[in-house]
Amino acid sequence: MSGMGARNLNRGSILIVEDDGIIAAHLQDTLTRLGYVVPEPVATGEAALAAVAAAPPDLALMDIQLAGAMDGVTAAEHIRAAFDIPVVYLTAFTQDAQLQQAKATAPYGYLVKPAPERELLATLEMALHKHSLDRRLRQSEEWLALALWGADLGIWDRNIRTSTVLYSGRWAEILGYGLTDIAPNYASWEARVHPDDLPAMREAFNAHLENRAPFYESEHRLRHKDGHWIWVQAKGKVTERDPEGCPLRACGVLLDISERKRLEEGLRQLAATDPLTGVFNRRYFLQSIHQEISRAQRYARPLTLIMFDIDYFKRINDTFGHEQGDEVLKSTTARVRQRLRRNDVFARWGGEEFMILAIETALPQAVALAETLWAALRDAPFAGIGTVTASFGVTEYQPDETLDQWLKRVDDLTYQAKSRGRDRVCHSGESAG
């Protein structure tokens, strides 16, 4: 037995549970010689539980038929429930019913007595190795579960051919549901996607399935159980393909990014709006006007600019103070905003000057809007200040002019209104007289 008799191998500790004293002693001698630490064998299931509780071994070599009220299978069930210790069965019987009962305890091996030494060694070594792997796997799964919990990630696993999808509990929870409330198919996901986001989501997934993208990533809105929309980020990769390269399975994660989107929107608003009045700033207005000019040119649609300048604003600041001047600016923009359409772009151009980009609006309609705004301002005096008026310029975009030319024309018309005595509307369709 050269190579098998070294006592310093320290293969681990084995508890022998065997009610035949001769067999137990022989196993103890053999396993000790093979390098295992072998405590005193026990003969009953009750004694096995006590021995394991007192000094947990690395493995229990368990006879199925034992003296006492508790047989080996029952003892193994208790050990499996209370301790992370692998069990290898040792028995002289091989009835099918007995095997099925033993299998239910998830043993790490099954030896028929008398087991040859080489088979005994191989079975024990494989059992200890498999248990070590299982322990590491469980540890990895625990780490993964902890990482997913810490990252607040939901898991999805999609069968491409059948369109079935396995969702994790967290995936459903993100949407306010229990896991059993979500149908295990891809349609249950798409049905909750915002209609505006669905095409881009599908294209992102298809691009990865067709190997046009290294992975799948999509940010889209999903309808929560209570009806509101939440933003999520979905990521994933194909994990299985058939021999022809066709995707079979894809797995990934889902993360609620609603708070990030809210913060991003807040930053966009800060970057695009005037902090005092809350209307758009000059930078955003210029971005918008470039886009709308391109659209107006492409589709031959009308586009009109309205500019207005609050009259005698410096006098208001000098007489009543800058705090009152700020209130005039805020109240004026509030009154104007109430009378604009959702698609009109309203911005503070600078100081007391404001711009309105009237989209899909020809000159006559824009002039009528400007006159409505002019009247709304002059007919609502400010407490302690009195009537505050404004001078308006209105002009429609001409396809052959540059943006600078158009801006100069509306500025000139506003100046014209001021030079004529202020508190009026001047537009490009009237005579200069």
Long-range (24+ apart) CB contacts under 8 A made by 272-279 are 274/347, 274/348, 276/326, 276/329, 276/330, 276/348, 277/329, 277/330, 277/333, 277/348, 278/330, 278/333, 279/333, 279/337, 279/346, 279/347, 279/348, 279/354
Say how far apart CA 166 and CA 172 lie, in whole Å. 11
Cβ pair 240, 308 in contact under 8 A: no
What integer pLDDT is reported at residue 247 of this predicted model?
Answer: 94
Position 70 scores a pLDDT of 87
Rounded CA gap, 170 and 178, in Å? 9
Could you report the per-residue pLDDT of 55-74, keeping only the tens digit for each?
Answer: 999 999 988 888 878 888 88
DSSP string, 162-208: T-BEEE-HHHHHHTT--GGGS-SBHHHHHTTB-TTTHHHHHHHHHHH
State the fold for domain 7-144.
Answer: Rossmann fold (3.40.50)
- Do residues 333 and 354 touch, judged by C-beta distance below 8 A? yes
Angle between helices 72-82 and 96-103 (to 10 degrees): 10
pLDDT at 398 over 60: yes
Average pLDDT of span 181-199: 95
Q: Is the pLDDT of residue 144 over 70?
A: no
- Mark residue 163 as left, alpha or beta (left: phi above 0; alpha: psi -120 to 50; beta: remaining): left
The alpha carbon of 350 is separated from its chain's Cα centroid by a whole number of angstroms, namely: 41
- In sequence order, the β-bridge partners of residue 280 are 273, 347
Identify the active-site residue in 18, 292, 352, 353: 352
Task: Look up the pTM and report it.
Answer: 0.55
Whether the Cβ atoms of residue 107 and residue 89 lie closer than 8 Å to each other: yes
Give SS3 for 62. strand
What pLDDT is recorded for position 80?
83
Q: In 194-302, at which residue ranges do the beta strands (DSSP E only) sit?
A: 216-223, 229-241, 247-256
Residue 352 among the catalytic residues? yes
pLDDT digits (tens, 9 = 90+) for 112-126: 788 888 888 888 898
Each domain of the chain, given as residue ranges in start order, spans 7-144, 152-258, 273-427
Taking residues 125-144, what's their average pLDDT?
81
pLDDT over 50 (residue 1): no
Residue 396 pLDDT > 50: yes
Residue 91 has pLDDT above 90, yes or no: no
Which CATH fold topology does 273-427 show? Answer: Alpha-Beta Plaits (3.30.70)
Span 262-299, pLDDT tens digits:
999 888 888 899 999 999 999 999 999 999 999 999 88
Task: Please give the pLDDT value at position 9.
Answer: 53
pLDDT at residue 7 in the model: 43
Q: What integer pLDDT is reported at residue 41 of this predicted model?
A: 94
Cross-strand partners of 391 = 309
Average pLDDT of the residues in 77-92: 86
- Choice among 37-41, 69-73, 188-192 with the minimum mean pLDDT: 69-73
Q: In what order do the strands lie in the sheet with 216-223?
A: 165-167, 153-159, 247-256, 229-241, 216-223
Fold of 152-258: Beta-Lactamase (3.30.450)
The Cα 255–Cα 234 span in angstroms is 7
Give me the residue label for tokens 């929560």. 224
Determine how many CB atoms are found less than 10 A away from the CB of residue 422. Answer: 14
DSSP state of 108: S
Of 433 and 388, the one with more pLDDT: 388
